[in-house]
Amino acid sequence: MTHQELLEIYERMVLSRRFEEKAEELYAQGRVTGSLHPYIGQEAVACAALLRRKPGDLFTSTHRGLGHCIAGGMDVRGMMAELFGKATGISGGKGGSMHLFDPQNGNLGTNGIVAGGTSIACGAAITLKLIDRTDNVVFTFFGEGASNEGVTHESMNLASVWKLPVIFVCENNQYQVFTSAMESCSVQDISQRASAYSMPGETVDGNDVLALDAAFRKAVERARQGEGPSLIEAKTYRWLGHWPGDVFAYGGYRSTEEVERWKKACPIVRLSRHLLEAGTMTREMMDSIHARVDAQVEEAVRFAEDSPEPDVGVLMQHVFSEVQNG
Ligand SMILES: Cc1ncc(C[n+]2csc(CCOP(=O)(O)OP(=O)(O)O)c2C)c(N)n1
Ligand SMILES: [Mg+2]
């Protein structure tokens, strides 16, 4: 990775973390409502994957998608306004965190249906082939729980048979709501499942940006060459509860020791240490990145607070398809 890329990825990860910390705080105050599934702790995965995007590349997200959206460059003001349910939100204030779309920037949306994005990614990849955009690829993020869903297997099979340019990114954060992967997954490494679909599979430390980048480069290169899909499993951890009401995530279904161990392996601190030691980033540069991000998040909150509520007249809009006359 170039110095510029490393600094860019660091700033994106910090923005993702700060945005979500603020959203959690506002949720606790009742200013943000709806559902929130924090991505905190997993930032390296989305940021490393989407760093390898070229114009025209696409990606699908999940219910835990704020980090994917930020990594994909979504406007944080529109995101925050959406969480506030305001008219200026990315989905007009009617969607919330699981309905964030930005197709112009390749973001095919967060998704409340676990594993739903994997088949959407195949559909998008088929379209790319049909319109001869053979140099573009589609990333699809999903959890280890989603890797047990039938649609994920159908999608991997189809992608393999039709050599679709899909990069299956399994974020193994080791839990599906309250259930441990040890109790629910037939394999220890989800990447093993790739062999059933004749595609390369690799397990990577999901908190290590450099290791992730090496794996994504290979997968993206293969997909752009028309050689088909790959499965990359990033082993990581969600620091917080499944959603803000999950009070069992610390000392309940997960031991406090386990959570603390993973917090010590923070992907952002790890990258900052690497950048400081390598001389890629000075303390002053780090401080100015943090200040810039804080200002951006504050501005997003101000924008959301100052924005109007959606007009009642739009309530039924986008619910039913419009009847076309003539
Ligand atoms: C098809 C479907 N089944 C079940 C649910 C309920 N649900 C929401 S998140 C979740 C756990 C998903 O686990 P995983 O795929 O590992 O993602 P993570 O939440 O860990 O990011 C479940 C079962 C759902 N939203 N959609
Ligand atoms: Mg999980």
Look up the CATH number of the domain holding residue 266. Answer: 3.40.50.970
Residue 319 is assigned to a structural domain of this protein? no
Q: Can you give the pTM of this predicted structure?
A: 0.97
Whether 112 is in the pocket of ligand 1, judged by its Cβ within 6 Å, is yes
Q: Which ligand is nearest to the CA of 46?
A: 1
Q: Count each helix (H run) and each strand (E run) in the chain, helices first.
A: 11, 7
Q: Which atom of ligand 1 is nearest to the CA of 177?
A: 11
Judge if the beta carbon of residue 141 lies within 6 A of ligand 1.
no
> Which ligand minimizes its atom distance to the CA of 145?
1
* 200 CB within 6 A, ligand 1: no
Mean pLDDT over 240-246 rounds to 96
Query: How do residues 114-149 score in pLDDT, each as one tens digit?
Result: 999 999 999 999 999 999 999 999 999 999 999 999
Ligand 1 atom nearest residue 143's Cα: 15
What's the pLDDT at 318? 84
- Return all residues near 165 (Cβ < 8 A) that are at least 6 apart: 125, 128, 129, 134, 136, 137, 138, 223, 224, 226, 228, 229
Establish if 139 belongs to a structural domain: yes
pLDDT at 47: 98
- 323: in domain: no
- Averaged pLDDT score across all residues of the chain: 97
Question: Which residues neighbour 255 within 8 Å (Cβ) at sequence distance 6 or greater?
Answer: none
Of all atoms in ligand 1, which is nearest to the CA of residue 149? Answer: 1
Provide the 10 A C-beta neighbour count for residue 289. Answer: 17
Report CA(174)–ligand 2 centroid distance (Å): 5
- Does the beta carbon of 146 lie inside 6 Å of ligand 1? yes
Q: How far is CA 119 from CA 43, 66, 142, 225, in A?
A: 24, 20, 11, 21
Q: Is residue 21 part of a domain?
A: yes
pLDDT of the residue at 319: 83
Per-residue pLDDT for 325 more than 70?
no
Residues 198-209 have a mean pLDDT of 98
- What is the distance in A from the centroid of ligand 1 to the CA of 177? 7
Asked if the structure places residue 142 within a domain, the reply is yes
* Contact by Cβ (8 Å): 206, 238: no
Give pLDDT tens digits for 271-304. 999 999 999 999 999 999 999 999 999 999 999 9
Separation CA 76–CA 296 (nearest Å): 8
Q: Quick check: CB of 145 below 6 Å from ligand 1?
A: yes
Whether 326 has a pLDDT exceeding 60, the answer reads no
Q: Is the per-residue pLDDT at 307 higher than 70?
A: yes
Range 300-313 burial, b when 16+ CB lie within 10 A, else e: bbebbeebeebeee
Per-residue model confidence (pLDDT) at position 116: 97
12, part of any domain: yes
Residues ≥6 apart with Cβ < 8 Å to 141:
45, 46, 49, 59, 60, 61, 62, 65, 68, 117, 169, 171
Question: What percent of the chain has a predicted confidence (pLDDT) above 70?
Answer: 99
Residue whose CA is closest, atom 20 of ligand 1? 176
Per-residue pLDDT tens over the stretch 67-79: 999 999 999 999 9
Residue 321 is assigned to a structural domain of this protein: no
Q: Are 128 and 165 contacting, i.e. CB atoms less than 8 angstroms apart? A: yes
The number of folded domains in the chain is 1
Flag whether 45 is in a domain: yes
Domain of 271 in residue numbering reads as 3-314
The band of 320, judged by pLDDT with boundaries at 50, 70 and 90, is: confident
pLDDT in tens, 9-32: 999 999 999 999 999 999 999 999
Beta bridge partners of 180: 175
